[in-house]
Structure 1
Amino acid sequence: MGHSVGQVAGFAGITVRTLHHYDEIGLLVPGERTAAGHRRYTDADLDRLQQILFHRELGFPLEEVAVLLDDPAADPITLLRRQHAVLTARIGRLTEMATAVERAMEARKMGISLTPEERFEVFGDFDPEAHAEEAEHRWGSTEAYRESQRRAAARTKEDWQALTRELDEIHRAVADRMAAGDAPDAPGVTDLAERHRLFISRTSYPCDHGMHSRLGEMYVQDERFTATYDAIRPGLARYLRDAIAANEERERERERAANAVSTERGESGSSAP
């Protein structure tokens, strides 16, 4: 005897009700019956059920499946080849979709709302995603990092291109000062360091002079940042670090001078009649 309805449902991962429906519409009529009239499925029936399920998975309605399987010109090998071709194409498409979703997840994690092609167009050889995990590990718990992510997520490709051009202009200006032989603490160079700090504050997160100096140290200590700056001009990472430090010292001198003036005015006021 063949297989019972329950056994076939278990084999195929479908319900008994589905098998009853296939029988009622003539799509899969069991080849055998018991003396009591119970359905029994032969091996040939199982082959047909496999074909039905293949076509259903591919999205064919039951009426079309019946026509395909009952076509006297169709043979099992032809059907399998057709299914293989369709499945292969679907696998390729799903693989592309999975890759796109992975890239979208990376972009979301990085906070950059750009396609991979747009990010390449904007950032060139520099890959911001390569630093995303480390940045989150180092600063993910800070408000500065969260603020940077919020701002980045809202930017378009045009926004990123404009910011990249502005930052490149600052870097080139610093490199030109270095090439001209200016010391890192020269007023024009420290002005550029301050412009660099203000750029970060405006575009990423509030960056005071102390944080800016810590970033400058990272440009020298992290070989990847060093390589990025030194690709503009050899030694630029260290030169920019020194200019940033000089700019912080200049700000401290201004604060000391302002405090001294304030103190002097206070003392003058207290001694007045």
Structure 2
Amino acid sequence: MTVGQAAGLVGLSVRTLHHWDAVGLVRPSERTPAGYRVYSADDIARIHRVLVYRELGLPLAEIGRILDDPAADAREHLRRQRLQLTERISHLHTMAEAVDRMLAASSSGLKLTPREQVEIFGTDWRPEWVQEAEDRWGDTKQWAQYVERTSGLTPDDWRQVVADTEVLNADLAAAHRAGVVPGSDEGNALAERHRTSFSRYFDCTPAMHACLARSFVSEPGYLRYYDSLSPGLAQWLHALVYANTAAHGIDPDTATWT
């Protein structure tokens, strides 16, 4: 192959191959009848070996020594380089996860990688829900409060959030099965606990809680979530919140997001 053909094959510039020829790293070993120097199959194979070593970070002078010294143990050298690469890859993964957390925190306040989100919130969790929530509420005061209040939470903090939510859900499901009446003292206390769980992220007023309660029975995602805890829980929780909102002197049917 001519130098141009060889350069195109291996993805290098002609100038690079000329330089490697000048320093004795890879020299075209054959000539055409007209006297032009060309690369043989062995020369091309040597170029590929040089590329491998260069990707490992070796200087050209050391690459030439390894390729030309019959006493050099190329396999041992590659094993050492592979160990270094493994360590570098591990370090880069750690850095990438840190960047993921920083990106998440800068936009959503959730300083968890997608892998951590699934590990903490469960296999049914979908990391894209965070972006969907930001798209829906990102321009609201409540979203700004959410970002501020959650941006400092660690993975262990989020595990505690999940544990607290599971306790609340278990108590709601048990009360539903026991027939706790919406508007009763016990029912209102449970509704307040539920509202407080939202207030962890933003100032959730009784009126806002009523607005959220409408979603529990109108949006399929909420409906499936609560009814999976106890069949009919979503409708009962809706009534529970509405009764508690009325106890605060607010008509839940006309309550607005204020």
TM-score by length of 2: 0.70
Cα distance, 1:251 vs structure 2? 0.8
Equivalent position of 2:201 in the other structure: 204
Equivalent position of 2:38 in the other structure: 41
Aligned with residue 104 of structure 1, among 86, 100, 104: 100
Q: Which stretches in structure 1 are left out of the alignment for 5+ residues?
A: 255-273
Equivalent position of 2:127 in the other structure: 129
Greater CA drift, 178-187 or 25-34: 25-34
Shift in CA distance, 123/67, structure 1 to aligned 2, threshold 3 Å: same
- Residue aligned with 1:150, SS: helix
Equivalent position of 2:2 in the other structure: 3
Equivalent position of 1:240 in the other structure: 237
Q: Say if 2:6 is the partner of 1:26.
A: no
Shift in CA distance, 205/129, structure 1 to aligned 2, threshold 3 Å: same
The one-letter amino acid paired with 1:210 is: A
In 1, Cα distance between the equivalents of 2:225 and 2:24? 70
In 2, Cα distance between the equivalents of 1:73 and 1:118? 49
Equivalent position of 1:215 in the other structure: 212
Offset from partner CA, 1:165-194 (integer Å, 9 cap, x none): 333333333333322222112122112212
Equivalent position of 1:70 in the other structure: 68
Contact 1:110-1:129 at 8 Å conserved across structures? no
- Normalized per residue, the structure richer in helix is 1
CA RMSD of aligned residues (A): 4.0
Aligned with residue 187 of structure 1, among 182, 185, 189: 185
Shift in CA distance, 10/123, structure 1 to aligned 2, threshold 3 Å: closer
Q: Greater Rg, structure 1 or structure 2?
A: 1
In 2, Cα distance between the equivalents of 1:199 and 1:23? 70
In 2, Cα distance between the equivalents of 1:214 and 1:122? 28
In 1, Cα distance between the equivalents of 2:118 and 2:247? 38
Contact 2:108-2:130 at 8 Å conserved across structures? yes
Contact 2:6-2:39 at 8 Å conserved across structures? no
Equivalent position of 1:266 in the other structure: none
In 1, Cα distance between the equivalents of 2:43 and 2:160? 66
After superposition, residues 88-167 of structure 1 pair within 5 angstroms as 104=100, 110-115=108-113, 118-127=116-125, 129-167=127-165
Contact 1:212-1:244 at 8 Å conserved across structures? yes
Equivalent position of 2:59 in the other structure: 61
Shift in CA distance, 56/39, structure 1 to aligned 2, threshold 3 Å: farther
Cα distance, 1:154 vs structure 2? 1.6
Q: Which stretches in structure 2 are left out of the alignment for 5+ residues?
A: 252-258
TM-score by length of 1: 0.67
Q: Say if 2:170 is the partner of 1:172.
A: yes
In 1, Cα distance between the equivalents of 2:50 and 2:142? 58
User: Percent identity at matched positions?
Assistant: 35
Shift in CA distance, 12/110, structure 1 to aligned 2, threshold 3 Å: same
In 1, Cα distance between the equivalents of 2:156 and 2:48? 53
Equivalent position of 1:268 in the other structure: none
In 1, Cα distance between the equivalents of 2:224 and 2:49? 59
In 2, Cα distance between the equivalents of 1:12 and 1:124? 46
Contact 1:30-1:39 at 8 Å conserved across structures? no
Shift in CA distance, 14/39, structure 1 to aligned 2, threshold 3 Å: farther
Contact 2:226-2:233 at 8 Å conserved across structures? yes
The one-letter amino acid paired with 1:141 is: D
